[in-house]
Amino acid sequence: MNEIETQLQEEQQAGLASLERVADPQALDTWKQTHLGKTSLVMTTYGKMGTFSKEERPLIGRAVNAVKVALEAALAEKEEVIKHEALLSSMASEKLDVTLPGFLPRRGRLHPINLTMREVFRIFGDMGFQVYSSPEVETDDMNFTYLNIPPYHPARDMWDTFYTEDEGVVLRTHTSPGQIRSMREYYPNPVRVILPGACMRYEQQDQSHEIEFMQFELLVVDKGVTFAHMKGTLDDFTKRMFGASAYTRLRPSHFPFTEPSAELDMACIFCGGSGCGVCHGTGWIELGGCGMVHPRVLEYGGYDPEIYSGFAAGVGIDRTTLLRYHIDDIRYLRNNDIRFLEQF
Ligand code: PHE
């Protein structure tokens, strides 16, 4: 046995012996540095391998491997022991009162717009409508052309539009493009859907205008659908939403995609129709637009206007939410103030 092998054997004995005396994590660390670190005999011997003769090399190699394996095994065992002891001592010194009450998770709640939306779904669900969702980013054709608003027609100015950098792609300005999408999907069956969702308009924001707002579209297409069906459905909706004393009127209006067209007004629920600040003294609050689906729009949807007729409406959900909860500024709905949201 040569000198190096002897040294290695002594190192193993010394290492194992000193490991016996290690009792805490810091001492274990120091031990690791000394016996298995960069400057330890084991590691420096590996580094010097090239300086040994061809005959010595396998012998020394085997010897140093054996020492390393022995030291590492002892170290792993010691680590377990120390970990276990640390756990025992912390259990002995720290008291845990399992009878203390826990922390209740904070409960989230639905946004008032969603509450209103769910109520809208419930009401129209009772009337036999289905909810149909359609994209918020639309083609110019769906948002305008197929709704009887051809390119460059001044009627497009009724909507302040966000155009995207992609030619022919817009953020939808209303839920009406869903009329075309749902008709094309349902054809030739009758259509009775509501289409809820976000719409975007490039607008000056104030107390009652936001660039983003929610709307739901109402669409019925079938044989023999009349204006009276529309009036009855809309009036019934407001009664179910705002109470039996709510009543509505239809005011003549114009939309390129309905003929005839009307604005849906509800008697002001704050003053009962006598005139107040909310209704600007008129006694009426505007809920949305409506009308009989224009023959050309029916055609774009695939339905023969000689056989089918239909009605459509677009009602503001934000507006409805303000009325339902007596909120006086539309901007509260989206500025994420927890003091506002907690009230619902
Ligand atoms: N899309 C119209 C708007 O947002 C509302 C509307 C819908 C009018 C359906 C008539 C029929 O202004």
316 CB under 6 A from ligand 1? Answer: no
Where does a domain end: 65, 93, 121? 93
CATH number of residue 190's parent domain: 3.30.930.10
* Ligand 1 atom having least distance to the Cα of 176: 1
Do 125 and 62 lie in one domain? The reply is: no
Residue 270 is predicted with a pLDDT of: 86
Distance CA(123)–CA(312), nearest Å, equals 17
258 CB under 6 A from ligand 1? Answer: yes
Strand order in 284-293's β-sheet? 130-131, 191-200, 212-222, 309-316, 284-293, 258-267, 248-255
Do 213 and 312 lie in one domain? The reply is: yes
Residue 13 within any structural domain of the chain: yes
* Separation of CA 168 and ligand 1 centre (Å): 21
Do 235 and 273 lie in one domain? The reply is: yes
Q: What is the dihedral of CA 324, 113, 126, 237, to 10 degrees?
A: 40
Do 133 and 32 lie in one domain? The reply is: no
Residue 101 within any structural domain of the chain: no
Q: What is the pLDDT of residues 205-251, one digit of tens each?
A: 777 777 899 999 999 999 999 999 999 999 999 999 999 999 999 99
Residue 98 within any structural domain of the chain: no
Is the distance from CB of 309 to CB of 226 less than 8 angstroms? Answer: yes
Distance CA(249)–CA(235), nearest Å, equals 8
Distance CA(27)–CA(33), nearest Å, equals 10
Distance CA(40)–CA(32), nearest Å, equals 9
CA distances from 266 to 148, 200, 230, 251, 299 (A): 28, 24, 15, 11, 32
Where does a domain end: 58, 93, 128? 93
The parent domain of residue 39 ranges over 3-93
The b-or-e profile of 28-43 (16+ CB within 10 A means b, else e) is beebbeebbeeebbbe
Do 18 and 161 lie in one domain? The reply is: no
Q: What is the pLDDT of residues 21-70, one digit of tens each?
A: 998 889 999 999 999 999 999 999 998 988 988 888 888 999 999 999 99
Do 144 and 289 lie in one domain? The reply is: yes
Do 81 and 122 lie in one domain? The reply is: no
For residue 184, give both structure tokens.
């094309």
Cα dihedral sign for 321, 325, 326, 331?
negative
* Separation of CA 76 and ligand 1 centre (Å): 75
Residue 54 within any structural domain of the chain: yes
Tell me which residue has its CA closest to atom 10 in ligand 1: 290
In terms of Cβ atoms closer than 10 Å to its own Cβ (0-12, 13-18, 19+), residue 178 is buried
Residue 1 is predicted with a pLDDT of: 60
Distance CA(341)–CA(268), nearest Å, equals 25
Residue 4 is predicted with a pLDDT of: 87
User: How many C-beta atoms lie closer than 10 Å to residue 153's C-beta?
Assistant: 12
Do 289 and 212 lie in one domain? The reply is: yes
Do 80 and 116 lie in one domain? The reply is: no
CA nearest 257: which of 215, 229, 307, 292?
292
239 by DSSP, 3-state: which?
A: helix
* Ligand 1 atom having least distance to the Cα of 215: 4
Residue 140 within any structural domain of the chain: yes
Residue 244 within any structural domain of the chain: yes
- Give residue 73's region: left, alpha or beta (phi > 0; psi -120 to 50): alpha
Do 200 and 266 lie in one domain? The reply is: yes
For residue 77, give both structure tokens.
């065992």
290 CB under 6 A from ligand 1? Answer: yes
Where does a domain end: 93, 128, 149? 93
Distance CA(263)–CA(266), nearest Å, equals 10
* Full-model pTM: 0.70
The count of domains in the chain is 2
Residue 157 is predicted with a pLDDT of: 87
Distance CA(244)–CA(30), nearest Å, equals 83
Pocket test for ligand 1, best of 156, 174, 286 (most atoms within 8 A of CB): 174
Residue 166 is predicted with a pLDDT of: 94
Question: Splitting the chain (344 residues) into consecutive groups of 10 residues, what average pLDDT does each group show?
Answer: 86 92 90 93 91 89 92 93 89 86 88 96 97 96 96 88 93 97 97 96 78 94 98 97 95 97 94 87 95 98 98 95 89 90 90
Residue 330 is predicted with a pLDDT of: 84
Do 15 and 162 lie in one domain? The reply is: no
